[in-house]
Homo-oligomer: A and B are copies of this chain.
Protein backbone atom coordinates (compact mmCIF):
# COMPACT_ATOMS: atom_id res chain seq x y z
CA UNK A 1 0.00 0.00 0.00
CA UNK A 2 3.01 2.31 -0.05
CA UNK A 3 4.29 2.05 -3.61
CA UNK A 4 2.47 5.18 -4.76
CA UNK A 5 4.08 8.62 -4.56
CA UNK A 6 2.84 12.11 -5.37
CA UNK A 7 -0.57 13.73 -5.34
CA UNK A 8 -1.04 14.99 -8.89
CA UNK A 9 2.03 13.75 -10.74
CA UNK A 10 1.52 10.37 -9.12
CA UNK A 11 3.71 7.32 -9.65
CA UNK A 12 3.03 3.69 -8.76
CA UNK A 13 5.98 1.36 -8.93
CA UNK A 14 6.19 -2.41 -9.03
CA UNK A 15 8.60 -5.26 -9.52
CA UNK A 16 11.14 -7.37 -7.74
CA UNK A 17 14.85 -7.96 -8.17
CA UNK A 18 14.51 -11.40 -9.72
CA UNK A 19 10.96 -11.26 -11.07
CA UNK A 20 9.92 -10.32 -14.59
CA UNK A 21 11.09 -6.74 -14.31
CA UNK A 22 10.68 -3.33 -12.72
CA UNK A 23 8.03 -0.84 -13.78
CA UNK A 24 6.23 2.37 -13.01
CA UNK A 25 2.93 3.95 -13.94
CA UNK A 26 2.78 7.75 -13.99
CA UNK A 27 -0.77 9.02 -13.60
CA UNK A 28 -1.06 12.79 -13.92
CA UNK A 29 1.67 13.70 -16.37
CA UNK A 30 0.75 16.84 -18.33
CA UNK A 31 -0.03 16.18 -21.98
CA UNK A 32 2.09 17.52 -24.87
CA UNK A 33 5.51 16.75 -23.42
CA UNK A 34 7.96 15.43 -25.98
CA UNK A 35 9.68 12.40 -24.54
CA UNK A 36 11.70 9.57 -26.05
CA UNK A 37 12.87 6.25 -24.61
CA UNK A 38 16.42 7.51 -25.17
CA UNK A 39 15.97 10.39 -22.74
CA UNK A 40 14.82 7.97 -20.06
CA UNK A 41 17.54 5.49 -20.94
CA UNK A 42 20.18 8.18 -20.45
CA UNK A 43 19.20 8.58 -16.80
CA UNK A 44 18.99 4.82 -16.29
CA UNK A 45 22.51 4.52 -17.63
CA UNK A 46 23.67 6.80 -14.83
CA UNK A 47 22.06 4.50 -12.25
CA UNK A 48 22.85 1.12 -13.72
CA UNK A 49 25.42 -1.20 -12.18
CA UNK A 50 28.66 -2.07 -13.86
CA UNK A 51 29.59 1.51 -14.71
CA UNK A 52 33.01 1.12 -13.10
CA UNK A 53 34.97 -1.10 -10.80
CA UNK A 54 33.56 0.93 -7.91
CA UNK A 55 30.16 -0.64 -8.26
CA UNK A 56 28.73 -4.13 -8.55
CA UNK A 57 29.98 -6.22 -11.47
CA UNK A 58 26.40 -7.13 -12.37
CA UNK A 59 25.84 -5.99 -15.90
CA UNK A 60 22.27 -4.98 -16.30
CA UNK A 61 21.30 -3.41 -19.56
CA UNK A 62 18.15 -2.00 -17.95
CA UNK A 63 16.47 -1.28 -21.22
CA UNK A 64 13.31 0.79 -20.78
CA UNK A 65 10.14 0.26 -22.77
CA UNK A 66 7.32 2.81 -22.91
CA UNK A 67 4.15 0.73 -22.63
CA UNK A 68 1.56 3.51 -22.77
CA UNK A 69 0.76 7.20 -22.52
CA UNK A 70 3.00 8.45 -25.33
CA UNK A 71 1.67 8.90 -28.86
CA UNK A 72 4.05 9.77 -31.67
CA UNK A 73 6.65 11.04 -29.24
CA UNK A 74 4.35 13.15 -27.09
CA UNK A 75 2.63 12.47 -23.78
CA UNK A 76 -1.15 12.33 -24.12
CA UNK A 77 -2.11 13.10 -20.53
CA UNK A 78 -3.06 9.47 -19.91
CA UNK A 79 -1.04 7.09 -17.72
CA UNK A 80 2.53 6.48 -18.82
CA UNK A 81 3.79 2.99 -18.06
CA UNK A 82 7.51 2.30 -18.22
CA UNK A 83 8.96 -1.18 -17.91
CA UNK A 84 12.47 -2.56 -17.60
CA UNK A 85 12.71 -6.33 -17.97
CA UNK A 86 15.07 -8.22 -15.68
CA UNK A 87 17.71 -10.11 -17.61
CA UNK A 88 20.78 -10.92 -15.55
CA UNK A 89 19.07 -12.95 -12.82
CA UNK A 90 20.92 -15.51 -10.78
CA UNK A 91 18.45 -16.63 -8.11
CA UNK A 92 20.69 -19.56 -7.27
CA UNK A 93 23.15 -17.07 -5.82
CA UNK A 94 20.59 -16.30 -3.16
CA UNK A 95 19.50 -19.87 -2.42
CA UNK A 96 21.32 -20.03 0.88
CA UNK A 97 19.91 -16.72 2.02
CA UNK A 98 16.34 -17.90 1.82
CA UNK A 99 16.74 -19.35 5.27
CA UNK A 100 18.84 -16.58 6.80
CA UNK A 101 17.97 -13.03 7.80
CA UNK A 102 20.76 -10.82 6.47
CA UNK A 103 21.83 -8.25 9.11
CA UNK A 104 20.64 -4.68 8.49
CA UNK A 105 18.72 -5.86 5.42
CA UNK A 106 14.95 -5.81 5.03
CA UNK A 107 14.61 -9.62 5.29
CA UNK A 108 13.47 -9.91 8.89
CA UNK A 109 11.18 -6.88 8.84
CA UNK A 110 9.48 -8.06 5.63
CA UNK A 111 8.91 -11.49 7.12
CA UNK A 112 7.37 -9.93 10.22
CA UNK A 113 5.17 -7.60 8.21
CA UNK A 114 3.89 -9.78 5.41
CA UNK A 115 4.34 -13.29 6.79
CA UNK A 116 5.82 -14.15 3.38
CA UNK A 117 8.64 -12.73 1.31
CA UNK A 118 10.33 -13.08 -2.03
CA UNK A 119 13.93 -13.65 -0.95
CA UNK A 120 15.57 -13.76 -4.37
CA UNK A 121 17.90 -10.82 -4.63
CA UNK A 122 15.98 -9.02 -1.91
CA UNK A 123 12.72 -9.20 -3.85
CA UNK A 124 10.84 -5.94 -3.60
CA UNK A 125 13.39 -4.59 -1.10
CA UNK A 126 16.14 -4.74 -3.68
CA UNK A 127 17.75 -1.52 -4.83
CA UNK A 128 16.71 -2.55 -8.34
CA UNK A 129 13.35 -1.06 -7.40
CA UNK A 130 14.91 2.39 -7.81
CA UNK A 131 15.01 1.86 -11.58
CA UNK A 132 11.35 2.83 -11.56
CA UNK A 133 12.12 6.04 -9.70
CA UNK A 134 14.88 7.07 -12.06
CA UNK A 135 12.74 6.33 -15.11
CA UNK A 136 9.83 8.41 -13.81
CA UNK A 137 12.25 11.04 -12.59
CA UNK A 138 13.63 11.47 -16.11
CA UNK A 139 10.21 12.66 -17.21
CA UNK A 140 9.84 14.87 -14.14
CA UNK A 141 13.23 16.46 -14.80
CA UNK A 142 12.29 17.18 -18.40
CA UNK A 143 9.12 18.99 -17.30
CA UNK A 144 11.05 21.05 -14.77
CA UNK A 145 13.69 21.95 -17.33
CA UNK A 146 11.10 22.91 -19.90
CA UNK A 147 8.72 24.84 -17.64
CA UNK A 148 11.16 26.47 -15.22
CA UNK A 149 14.62 25.85 -16.62
CA UNK A 150 15.55 23.87 -13.52
CA UNK A 151 19.07 22.50 -13.25
CA UNK A 152 20.56 20.00 -10.80
CA UNK A 153 23.96 19.90 -9.19
CA UNK A 154 23.99 16.66 -7.28
CA UNK A 155 27.14 14.90 -6.18
CA UNK A 156 28.93 12.75 -3.61
CA UNK A 157 30.19 15.06 -0.89
CA UNK A 158 31.69 12.48 1.46
CA UNK A 159 32.59 8.80 1.52
CA UNK A 160 33.09 7.41 4.99
CA UNK A 161 35.43 9.93 6.65
CA UNK A 162 36.63 11.51 3.41
CA UNK A 163 34.78 14.74 2.66
CA UNK A 164 35.34 17.25 -0.10
CA UNK A 165 35.90 20.89 0.92
CA UNK A 166 32.71 22.91 1.42
CA UNK A 167 31.86 24.70 -1.80
CA UNK A 168 29.27 27.14 -3.10
CA UNK A 169 29.98 26.08 -6.63
CA UNK A 170 27.15 24.74 -8.77
CA UNK A 171 28.92 21.79 -10.39
CA UNK A 172 27.24 20.84 -13.66
CA UNK A 173 26.20 17.22 -14.13
CA UNK A 174 28.87 16.69 -16.76
CA UNK A 175 31.63 17.54 -14.32
CA UNK A 176 30.07 15.38 -11.62
CA UNK A 177 29.73 12.42 -13.95
CA UNK A 178 33.27 12.71 -15.23
CA UNK A 179 34.58 10.83 -12.18
CA UNK A 180 33.11 7.36 -11.50
CA UNK A 181 32.73 8.22 -7.81
CA UNK A 182 30.69 11.31 -8.81
CA UNK A 183 32.58 13.72 -6.56
CA UNK A 184 33.36 16.93 -8.49
CA UNK A 185 36.54 17.67 -6.53
CA UNK A 186 39.24 15.66 -8.32
CA UNK A 187 41.60 15.30 -5.36
CA UNK A 188 38.85 14.13 -3.05
CA UNK A 189 37.42 11.89 -5.76
CA UNK A 190 40.70 10.07 -6.00
CA UNK A 191 40.89 9.49 -2.25
CA UNK A 192 37.29 8.33 -2.16
CA UNK A 193 37.85 5.87 -4.98
CA UNK A 194 40.89 4.46 -3.26
CA UNK A 195 38.89 4.04 -0.05
CA UNK A 196 36.10 2.20 -1.87
CA UNK A 197 38.58 -0.15 -3.54
CA UNK A 198 40.20 -0.76 -0.18
CA UNK A 199 36.87 -1.54 1.50
CA UNK A 200 35.94 -3.86 -1.34
CA UNK A 201 39.21 -5.70 -1.03
CA UNK A 202 38.57 -6.13 2.68
CA UNK A 203 35.12 -7.57 2.01
CA UNK A 204 33.67 -4.48 3.65
CA UNK A 205 31.61 -1.49 2.53
CA UNK A 206 31.36 2.27 3.09
CA UNK A 207 28.66 4.94 3.17
CA UNK A 208 28.68 8.69 2.74
CA UNK A 209 26.65 11.77 1.92
CA UNK A 210 25.19 13.30 -1.21
CA UNK A 211 24.68 17.03 -1.69
CA UNK A 212 21.90 18.22 -3.99
CA UNK A 213 21.46 21.77 -5.24
CA UNK A 214 18.68 22.79 -7.59
CA UNK A 215 18.48 26.06 -9.49
CA UNK A 216 15.52 27.57 -11.20
CA UNK A 217 12.82 26.44 -8.79
CA UNK A 218 10.22 29.21 -8.81
CA UNK A 219 9.10 30.78 -5.55
CA UNK A 220 5.78 29.47 -4.28
CA UNK A 221 6.17 25.68 -4.32
CA UNK A 222 5.23 23.80 -1.15
CA UNK A 223 1.91 23.31 0.62
CA UNK A 224 1.91 24.18 4.32
CA UNK A 225 1.40 23.00 6.88
CA UNK A 226 2.19 19.32 6.25
CA UNK A 227 3.20 19.11 2.62
CA UNK A 228 5.92 21.67 3.10
CA UNK A 229 8.48 21.44 0.34
CA UNK A 230 11.27 20.35 2.71
CA UNK A 231 8.94 17.80 4.34
CA UNK A 232 8.16 16.18 1.02
CA UNK A 233 11.84 16.28 0.04
CA UNK A 234 12.74 14.65 3.35
CA UNK A 235 10.18 11.91 2.80
CA UNK A 236 11.39 11.40 -0.76
CA UNK A 237 15.00 11.06 0.35
CA UNK A 238 14.32 8.81 3.33
CA UNK A 239 12.31 6.57 1.01
CA UNK A 240 15.50 5.73 -0.89
CA UNK A 241 17.04 2.47 0.34
CA UNK A 242 20.02 2.87 2.71
CA UNK A 243 19.32 6.49 3.67
CA UNK A 244 19.58 7.50 7.32
CA UNK A 245 19.35 11.29 7.33
CA UNK A 246 18.30 14.47 5.56
CA UNK A 247 19.09 18.11 6.17
CA UNK A 248 18.20 21.25 4.29
CA UNK A 249 20.10 24.52 4.20
CA UNK A 250 22.11 24.93 7.38
CA UNK A 251 20.75 21.61 8.67
CA UNK A 252 22.21 20.14 11.83
CA UNK A 253 25.13 22.57 11.87
CA UNK A 254 22.66 25.45 11.78
CA UNK A 255 21.51 24.42 15.26
CA UNK A 256 24.85 25.69 16.52
CA UNK A 257 24.27 29.24 15.27
CA UNK A 258 22.34 32.08 16.88
CA UNK A 259 19.34 33.66 15.20
CA UNK A 260 21.29 36.77 14.33
CA UNK A 261 23.91 34.63 12.56
CA UNK A 262 21.42 32.30 10.93
CA UNK A 263 18.73 34.62 9.57
CA UNK A 264 18.82 35.23 5.82
CA UNK A 265 18.49 38.98 5.33
CA UNK A 266 16.34 40.11 2.40
CA UNK A 267 18.06 42.28 -0.17
CA UNK A 268 17.29 43.62 -3.63
CA UNK A 269 19.39 42.11 -6.38
CA UNK A 270 18.81 42.81 -10.06
CA UNK A 271 15.42 44.23 -9.14
CA UNK A 272 14.32 41.05 -7.41
CA UNK A 273 13.84 40.24 -3.74
CA UNK A 274 16.61 37.85 -2.81
CA UNK A 275 18.28 36.62 0.36
CA UNK A 276 21.82 37.62 1.27
CA UNK A 277 22.70 34.17 2.62
CA UNK A 278 20.87 30.88 2.10
CA UNK A 279 20.80 29.10 5.43
CA UNK A 280 17.16 28.40 4.63
CA UNK A 281 18.23 26.17 1.74
CA UNK A 282 15.73 27.77 -0.60
CA UNK A 283 12.68 27.09 1.52
CA UNK A 284 10.94 29.34 4.04
CA UNK A 285 7.74 28.49 5.87
CA UNK A 286 7.62 25.29 3.83
CA UNK A 287 7.55 27.18 0.52
CA UNK A 288 10.32 27.74 -2.01
CA UNK A 289 11.54 31.33 -1.97
CA UNK A 290 13.28 31.33 -5.34
CA UNK A 291 16.75 30.73 -3.95
CA UNK A 292 18.80 27.63 -4.68
CA UNK A 293 17.34 24.49 -3.10
CA UNK A 294 20.17 22.90 -1.14
CA UNK A 295 20.01 19.68 0.85
CA UNK A 296 22.12 16.73 1.92
CA UNK A 297 21.35 13.04 2.35
CA UNK A 298 23.11 10.42 4.49
CA UNK A 299 23.63 6.89 3.16
CA UNK A 300 24.72 4.07 5.43
CA UNK A 301 27.41 1.60 4.34
CA UNK A 302 26.00 -1.20 2.15
CA UNK A 303 24.78 -3.97 4.48
CA UNK A 304 25.93 -6.79 2.22
CA UNK A 305 29.56 -7.53 3.09
CA UNK A 306 31.82 -10.50 2.46
CA UNK A 307 32.63 -10.99 6.12
CA UNK A 308 31.19 -13.51 8.53
CA UNK A 309 28.32 -12.07 10.59
CA UNK A 310 26.15 -13.30 13.43
CA UNK A 311 22.48 -13.80 12.54
CA UNK A 312 19.37 -15.91 13.02
CA UNK A 313 17.70 -18.23 10.52
CA UNK A 314 14.04 -18.21 9.54
CA UNK A 315 13.39 -21.11 11.88
CA UNK A 316 14.63 -19.03 14.80
CA UNK A 317 18.06 -20.58 15.34
CA UNK A 318 21.29 -18.66 15.87
CA UNK A 319 23.46 -18.85 12.77
CA UNK A 320 26.18 -17.16 10.75
CA UNK A 321 26.19 -15.58 7.33
CA UNK A 322 28.71 -14.44 4.76
CA UNK A 323 27.35 -12.15 2.10
CA UNK A 324 27.51 -13.45 -1.43
CA UNK A 325 25.92 -12.07 -4.55
CA UNK A 326 27.31 -9.12 -6.44
CA UNK A 327 26.92 -5.90 -4.51
CA UNK A 328 28.25 -2.38 -4.43
CA UNK A 329 30.91 -1.72 -1.83
CA UNK A 330 29.57 1.84 -1.88
CA UNK A 331 26.14 2.87 -3.21
CA UNK A 332 26.86 6.58 -3.34
CA UNK A 333 27.85 7.09 -7.00
CA UNK A 334 24.83 5.24 -8.30
CA UNK A 335 22.56 6.96 -5.77
CA UNK A 336 23.19 10.39 -7.30
CA UNK A 337 20.65 9.98 -10.14
CA UNK A 338 18.17 8.48 -7.66
CA UNK A 339 18.40 11.53 -5.41
CA UNK A 340 17.90 13.76 -8.44
CA UNK A 341 14.94 11.70 -9.61
CA UNK A 342 13.17 11.79 -6.26
CA UNK A 343 13.77 15.54 -5.93
CA UNK A 344 12.41 16.08 -9.42
CA UNK A 345 9.31 14.01 -8.64
CA UNK A 346 8.63 16.14 -5.56
CA UNK A 347 9.19 19.40 -7.41
CA UNK A 348 7.05 18.62 -10.43
CA UNK A 349 4.22 17.42 -8.20
CA UNK A 350 4.39 20.68 -6.26
CA UNK A 351 4.61 22.67 -9.47
CA UNK A 352 1.32 21.12 -10.61
CA UNK A 353 -0.25 21.58 -7.19
CA UNK A 354 0.66 25.25 -7.19
CA UNK A 355 -0.69 25.56 -10.71
CA UNK A 356 -3.98 23.98 -9.63
CA UNK A 357 -5.05 26.59 -7.11
CA UNK A 358 -3.49 29.52 -8.92
CA UNK A 359 -6.72 30.20 -10.70
CA UNK A 360 -7.74 33.51 -9.14
CA UNK A 361 -4.34 35.00 -8.37
CA UNK A 362 -3.60 38.15 -10.33
CA UNK A 363 -0.49 38.11 -12.50
CA UNK A 364 2.45 38.89 -10.25
CA UNK A 365 5.90 40.27 -10.43
CA UNK A 366 7.77 37.15 -11.52
CA UNK A 367 9.20 35.44 -8.50
CA UNK A 368 12.93 35.55 -8.10
CA UNK A 369 14.73 32.47 -9.32
CA UNK A 370 18.20 31.28 -8.39
CA UNK A 371 19.94 31.88 -11.66
Contact = CB atoms under 8 A, between A and B. Distances in A.
A214 interface: no
Contacts of A266: 101, 103, 108, 310-312
Name A's interface SS: mixed
Contacts of A304: 259
A30 interface: yes
Contact of A244 (B237, B248, B258): B248
Nearest to A15: B68
A299 interface: yes
Interface residues of A, number: 164
Interface stretch (A38-46, A172-180, A184-192, A224-232): A224-232
Nearest to A232: B235
Given A224-B3, A225-B124, A268-B318, A258 B204 contact: yes
Interface in A239-286: 239, 241, 243-252, 254-268, 273, 275-276, 279-281, 283-286
A197 interface: no
B27 A4 contact: yes
Interface in A70-93: 71, 74-81, 83
Nearest to A23: B81
B367 A103 contact: no
Contact of A252 (B83, B245, B317): B245
B244 A251 contact: yes
A297 to B, nearest CB: 9
B116 A220 contact: no
